[in-house]
Chains A and B, each alone.
Chain A
């Protein structure tokens, strides 16, 4: 093989690899991306949000019901609430009135079946997406109080 041929083998290999990678990435991004929704957004268009969703908001006060190993609670924002069911151990910092994210799917009966529930390590934590949305809704002003340097 000439120098040129050898080089073209390498270049061809690299392009093939790149092509495969791009194809994989594009399919994965169209299928495997999880959208973030607030209860209001979720209920406004349930058909569009039939896939995997990260549902974020505040845990409604008094809504937590524990039953055997499943937990039921409601995530609310200003306008709406969605009942979430979850089988598993809630994170340490899960509390009523705190911001959480539940990851899972909306069921046909209007409840949300979560397989993951996230709260944060920090007790002041408000998941970033939740905080941004609630601020947009004028519902929550976190930065006001957190003046400690």
Chain B
């Protein structure tokens, strides 16, 4: 019965979501305070229904209830408990359910924390949020129902795709979805503002922390996914410009732009129309990402659940929301009043530059991702656009932005002093160039691009703290005064610095790995010795091991440096018994920020040799530590007191009017 209650709860949630769409909207339009007041509770009820339904599905996975088709297809009683949990979203139906669960969660959070919002704005946003929920709940129930039953129930399930049986996957999709779907809040508020034809001062104040939250999750999700692909696929790559990766990267770029433009809107009430448009675009790109991954129109290393007929439905949803939103934007944006003025050289000007570059970069990624689809539709010619395209477009576009980042926070609002900012920064620029050139001493050959890249990374890293140093007044003010001022600085200033520094750290990692990585592919047998990047690597031998639902051949390699023992690396090849599917588990040894990465190939027939691929990846972990810093920066900003807005009390005058009316 439990399973069927979960199914019913999902159906009920769909019906309540329909009410959530209609009632608050009608309430705002007719001015009925009763209906407006129901909005938060509707969001709570829809969330409760979906959460119950999700809990039931999870229960089905954990108890291996193979009378649920979805559980039978994607789980196995032998699977470790953790992967029974993650199996819930390791498939199409379950991951869509997670998607709407998060959507409803955000809706409920608006209801919960929205008491400081004008009630009509809140009701309208919740109504739009409800409409999105209706579309996706309908999609789930009618094309991808996770509660389809199987009778009689088999005694054993088919196992989760082994490539997904990994802790990285346990965290990656929920983080990514929290990011994707988090932007739905910005979208709903943008649509609400367009429908109402005005933007309250509360709008930007409210939207910014939510953008920041979604952006933080998305950043963490993308970084997590990149690290997962790096160690799980055994190819040693950390970013493939794969369509599915691009699908999450585009909302990130647009979301980053939105984060910055919302800042201008909050502080200066400028860029209103643009911010609204960005909010729409960011969530549209999130929907596009969902479409690309779920529909199977693009083949990718990541797409684990694809079904073209479902794609058509998602495409319909996509066209409806994006088309509808842009139509509404075209119709209503002129009614939004213009805000404050600013000089091109100013904090606002810097943020506009940021927005220009980020949106243009998003557009190039967009073109590269969808061009093959367009060409195939028009000419039938099948092409692919890979890393070389993105290296030739995205990278040169981003370089000017990276150079400009440290200037931004140093410029004053409204009218900035570029010369003054440059004066404060030239020391950093010098240090950055020097460090860039210093790398030449430590490596062989001339790597001009590497020198430039390292210099940019260092420039970003150091420049990120220029604002803090400036505000502390050091060195003029003396150490004790400076320290006191540092303590008094708003957390958002620290947040900005950390996030920008994280960008620098990430750039350093990328440049270092792409320029200085060393790679070797060779045949080794037990006792064989090879050298890589100053390490001596000895193959010790093979061992067969039994995992819970797989058998694996583990090879062990001893690593020495100058005859001192350093570590033992154990890459392996697994066969998952239920699906008879082989996977490669890489062996990684981390030293400092760098890693030694080993992956096994096929055994050479007729010998006891095996093909081994070895990489030396200098400073590779910086690629993911950078985003971690960015997320921490985001958390700092979020914890800033200023993002909290107090709720006004009804004015005395209005109370009197009403009392008189009664």
Contact = CB atoms under 8 A, between A and B. Distances in A.
Direct contact of A and B (CB under 8 A): yes
B583 interface: yes
Given A10-B344, A13-B356, A28 B392 contact: yes
Contacts of A87: 521
B82 interface: no
Contact of B602 (A10, A66, A127): A66
A122 B383 CA distance: 22
Contact of B353 (A13, A18, A34): A13
Contacts of B396: 24
Contacts of B543: none
Given A13-B353, A24-B364, A92 B583 contact: yes
Contacts of B393: 21, 24-25, 28
A3 B301 CA distance: 50
A80 B482 CA distance: 75
Nearest to A126: B299
A31 interface: yes
B654 interface: no
A89 B613 contact: yes
Contacts of B582: 92-93
Interface in A53-70: 54, 66, 68-69
A33 interface: yes
Contact of A6 (B304, B343, B522): B343
B384 A33 contact: yes
A66 B605 contact: yes
Question: How would you classify the secondary structure of chain B's contact residues: helix, strand, loop or mixed?
Answer: mixed
Contact of A32 (B385, B397, B600): B385
Contacts of A25: 364, 367-368, 393
Interface in B342-358: 342-344, 349, 352-353, 356-357
A44 interface: no
Given A121-B304, A149-B69, A21 B521 contact: no
A69 B342 contact: no
A33 B389 contact: yes
A15 to B, nearest CB: 10
A8 B35 CA distance: 46
Chain A contact-residue range equals 35 or more
Interface in B396-445: 396-397
Interface in B361-382: 361, 363-364, 367-368, 371, 381-382
A21 B364 contact: yes
A24 B382 contact: no
A88 B360 contact: no
A32 B364 CA distance: 14
B386 interface: yes
A133 B580 CA distance: 28
B382 A36 contact: yes
Interface in A38-61: 54
A145 interface: no
Q: Which of B299, B352, B371, B600 has the most CB of A within 10 A?
A: B299
Given A3-B341, A6-B341, A66-B605, A123 B581 contact: yes
A29 B371 contact: yes
A27 B385 contact: no
Contacts of B384: 33-34, 36, 54
Contacts of B296: 128
Nearest to B381: A35
A17 B601 contact: no
A147 interface: no
25 contacts: A10-B344, A10-B349, A13-B356, A21-B393, A24-B393, A24-B396, A24-B397, A25-B364, A25-B368, A25-B393, A28-B388, A29-B389, A34-B385, A36-B382, A36-B384, A68-B523, A69-B523, A92-B573, A103-B386, A120-B299, A121-B161, A121-B163, A121-B304, A122-B161, A129-B382
Given A35-B382, A92-B583, A123-B579, 12 more contacts: A1-B344, A13-B353, A17-B357, A17-B360, A28-B368, A28-B388, A29-B385, A36-B382, A89-B601, A118-B301, A120-B299, A121-B301
Interface of B: 69, 161, 163, 234, 296, 299, 301, 304, 341-344, 349, 352-353, 356-357, 360-361, 363-364, 367-368, 371, 381-386, 388-389, 392-393, 396-397, 521-523, 573, 579-584, 599-602, 604-605, 611, 613
Interface of A: 1, 3, 6, 9-10, 13-14, 17-18, 20-21, 24-25, 27-29, 31-36, 54, 66, 68-69, 87-90, 92-93, 103, 118, 120-123, 127-129, 132-133, 149
